[in-house]
Amino acid sequence: MTNLKTPRLKIIRPVRSGQTTEQVVARVYELIKRDELKPGDRLPPERELAKLLGISRPSLRAGLGSLISMGVLKSRQGAGTFIVDGPPALDSEPLRLLAELHGFSFDHMFETRSILEVGAAGLAAEHATGDQLATMSEEIAEMFAALSDPQQFLVHDINFHRAVAAASGNPTLATLVEMVSAILYERRRDTIARAHDFNEALEMHRAIYRAIRSRKPDEARAAMGEHIVRAQKAFALEEKQQREKEQLQKDRA
């Protein structure tokens, strides 16, 4: 839960000149390790934190920007910058570049997703809280409302899977699911407009949710596994159609 009160921090070792960004990251990690900053805590105002670190505000912003990209911090307009509470909201751009660099195929990504998310669904059936079940239900309702809007449907689809992973009770697993989701989201948002019918996907998510809500781990794992297999086939078709479209445009040029 977000803590709107800002903790009073002890004097931090000033940042030395040179490698300012890296040292800002190290100082914030130091505060987290000393339990002076906890998940959900709001950072002190920019002016105060820059003074504590002995650096300029532009240098501080650069360091905080790195921590936001890492998923350690989250900025909320008008409210401040907070320590992330729960799985990190990772910046997908570095992950996407990493995927491009190493040539991650979508088959490998879906295989990884299956290994992670089938287990997460089973654990969620054992550990999900009432609030976490409510979050899953809300995302399904949003998917239903977005049946005619592929991009919005995808957003709530991804959010549902993040909610299931968070409900597993295993933050390491939830973080790994977040990483894979970030890469797949970047790839699928370019192709999902070619999908024709989201009703089947919606029903699959409902089946996963019902199994988790009913505390049936085996059914939750089976429903998640079937959903991922079908999603992989749908994604493969979308990418094939996208390649054909791009080739046709090249031929006409």
Angle, CA of 88, 79 and 35, to the nearest 5°: 50
Domains of the chain and any CATH numbers: 20-83 (1.10.10.10), 92-252 (1.20.120.530)
Mean pLDDT of 182-194: 76
User: Does 251 or 231 have the greater pLDDT score?
Assistant: 231
Model pTM score:
0.67
List the single range of 43-57, 78-92, 108-122, 227-241 with lowest mean pLDDT.
78-92
Tracing tokens 């040029």 back to the chain, one arrives at: 253
Mean pLDDT of 139-145: 95
What's residue 134's pLDDT?
97
Rounded to 5 degrees, what are φ and ψ at 144? -60, -40
SS3 for 50-75 is HHHHCCCHHHHHHHHHHHHHHCCEEE
Mean pLDDT of 78-93: 68
Q: SS3 of 78, please?
A: coil
Beta bridge pairs of residue 42: 82
List the single range of 74-88, 93-107, 155-169, 191-205 with lowest mean pLDDT.
93-107
Contacts for 145 with CB less than 8 Å, ≥ 6 apart: none
What's residue 101's pLDDT?
65
What's residue 162's pLDDT?
92
Copy the structure tokens of residue 35: 């339990």
Question: Per-residue pLDDT for 59 more than 80?
Answer: yes
Mean pLDDT of 181-203: 80
